Amino acid sequence: MKHFLVKTIANAAALAVAIWLLKDITLTGENTGRQVLTLILVALIFGLVNFLVKPLVKLLSFPLFILTLGLITLVVNALMLLLTSWLAGKVDLAFHVNGFWTALLGGVIISIVSWAMHVILPDED
């Protein structure tokens, strides 16, 4: 349970940094409390997408991982962020990523911040 909580906090922090740095990734809400709740829910969706969909996409694109020496990971991360944006729209959350290139840069930012958060936050059970 603690591992799940740590991953969700790390995802939320990483998404918050990406939203703060990139004007084409938006999170809106009536007040700060609503924005925080939306951010946590989007972090849960993002974690679910990374847990369920990303391994399948990585498996199916394995030859591209070898061919590009792993650089296709950037594209896969961007696609996972776009899928999260689409799913958030379907469940009426005010989170939107505008375009592939924004998602690519957002994926890089989220990867770096998420890695840093996992280094900082305790993860033992």
Helix (H) or strand (E) holding 26: strand 25-27
Structure confidence by residue, pLDDT tens digits, 39-96: 999 999 999 999 999 999 989 999 998 999 989 999 999 999 999 999 999 999 999 9
pLDDT (mean) for 92-116: 93
The reply to whether the predicted model has a pTM over 0.75 is yes
**Sign of the torsion formed by the C-alpha atoms of 43, 46, 52 and 56:** negative
> So what's the pLDDT on residue 1?
64
